[in-house]
Structure 1
Amino acid sequence: MNEGPGTRAPRPHKPLPFAPADFEPFAGGTDPARVSEAAHLAARALVRGGRESNDPAITKRLVKLADRQGLEAIAEMWAASPARSLPGALWRLYALRAATLQDPEGISIFFRAGQHRAQVANAVAGVAEPPGAEEITTMADAILSGAFDGDFDVALERSAAFCRVVALGQATVAVERKAAHPEHAQVLNQKAHQLVRTAEDLEGAAASWRKGELD
């Protein structure tokens, strides 16, 4: 990867209450369409370094907002974005990063279980090598801090591969625990299905990025 020292995003913290007024200077108020516009502007500023913005003040204001309220404030705008959009893809990377940071040990257990199954059954197709839990958070940190200078589509595909491996691990553990802990097994299967959908969304976003259609 191309991340270097100092590229990690600020340590997660409890965000200040979300204030749509914070976006009024460049989003035109709290109208849903304007908030959606702000979500896209924020995504472009991070991934493309603000190069596509016609107003440099937008990027500057986004940086100040992130410094004051944390990345959570910006990510909240992305949550309602379509899955196959730039802010939608960043929301999934943000959520994946947050889940991994919240339970790194559990995610690592599922990843190892899924990695073994994937190697045996060749269950994860494609050229993207799935990163481990630590690398996925480092890569997401770089992207979400605007410091990533690698191939964005490859990063999305590798994140998707990570999702598929963890999902395989969750499904494997669910089978092992079904007899003794059926309810827990059901929860794991549900999480696995959700991760597979996330993987599909990230793969679709990567394909759109290569075509120049991800916005």
Structure 2
Amino acid sequence: MSRDHQRPILQPSFTFDWIIGSDEPEAARRLAQETSWALLDRVRSVADPDVVERVVGLASGTGLDDIAELWAGESAHSLAGALWRLYLLRRVVDSDPEGSADLFRRGAAAASTIDPVVAGAAEPVTPGSIAELCDTILRGVFTGDLGGALDRAASYCRIMSLGAADLADARDLHDDAHAAELTTRSLRYSTFASDLHAGARRWRDGTLS
């Protein structure tokens, strides 16, 4: 089941900090479910590239505040929670494009799995190609296979987790505070990877709420 809804305060995206509880969690949960499924169904049924781009662009604009209000407290077992995670990943890139590209490069170099292939960032990896990768994943939600998009996002998160851990190791001898921050970020990316993979599985077996 979904966690109790939380009314988030938007802060720098890399913190992943969304707090302040709602007095009506059940009503909030129902609203989150209804709006997320309505958005998905509407965009898929219209099949208009301009509509898709506007929906994808919510991650970079003030529309994300409205999405956070509705979806940020929902679990990965829900469509709302899965979509929120994808939008948040895109906002992280907006908040630190150079750092995001660096983490991806480090993580891809350290990976011993096919995650870099599944994620599919264009070479050379630049802030622009990472932003485009996140946009492509979001487009896939509304124009392709949702399970595939979530799995691709999970691979992206595993790479970013490895990258953050690698950079934390490099910073450890020089800046303990930054190293600790990066270690926390690595764990959060790893958690997101598990959440998104679980969301893909639930989509395929029909249990995504």
TM-score normalised per structure 1? 0.69
Question: Which residue pairs with 2:124 in the alignment?
Answer: none
Contact kept? 1:130, 1:161, Cα under 8 Å = yes
Q: Is 1:161 equivalent to 2:158 in the alignment?
A: no
- 5 Å-filtered alignment, 1:192-203, equals 192-203=186-197
Please tell me whether residue 47 in structure 1 is matched to residue 50 in structure 2. Answer: no
Q: Distance in 2 between matches of 1:161 and 1:113?
A: 14
Structure 2 residue 100 is matched with structure 1 residue 107: yes
Query: Counterpart of 1:138?
Result: 135
Report if the CA contact (8 A) 1:159-1:199 is conserved.
yes
Give the 3-state SS of the residue equivalent to 1:41 in structure 2.
helix
Query: For 1:115-194, what aligned pairs fall within 5 Å after superposition?
Result: 115-118=108-111, 122=112, 124=113, 129-132=118-121, 133-142=130-139, 148-194=142-188
* Aligned partner letter, 1:90: L
CA distance change for structure 1 residues 51 and 186 in 2, over 3 Å: closer, same or farther?
A: closer
Maintained 8 Å contact 1:174/1:185: yes
| Structure 1 gap segments, 5+ residues each | 1-13, 15-29, 53-62
Q: Distance in 2 between matches of 1:104 and 1:49?
A: 31
| Deviation of 1:33 (Å) | 2.1
Distance change (3 Å), C-alpha of 1:45 and 1:174: same
Q: State the 1:140 CA deviation.
A: 4.9
Kept in 1: contact 2:115–2:156 (CA 8 A): no
Deviation at 1:106, TM superposition (A): 0.5
Q: Which amino acid aligns with 2:191?
A: R
| One of 189, 200, 209 as aligned partner of 2:203 | 209
Partner of 2:85: 92
Q: 1:164 to 1:126 in 2, by over 3 A?
A: closer
Does structure 2 retain, via aligned residues, the 8 Å contact 1:97–1:137? yes
| CA distance, structure 1, for counterparts of residue 188 and residue 180 of structure 2 | 13
SS at match of 2:173: coil
- Sort the Cα spacing of 1:95 and 1:127 in 2 relative to 1 into closer, same or farther, 3 A: closer
Identical columns (%): 36
Aligned twin of 1:78: 71
Alignment coverage as a number of residue pairs? 166
CA distance in 2, matches of 1:190, 1:71: 24
**Structure with greater proportional helix content:** 2
8 A contact 2:167–2:179 mirrored in 1:
yes
Contact 1:128 1:158 in 2 (8 A): no
Could you state the TM-score of these two structures normalised by the residue count of structure 2? 0.71
- After TM superposition, the runs of 4+ consecutive aligned structure 1 residues lying more than 4 A away are 125-128
Native 8 Å contact 2:116 2:156 kept in 1 = no
Question: Aligned-pair distance for 1:125?
Answer: 5.1
Rg (Cα) greater in structure: 1
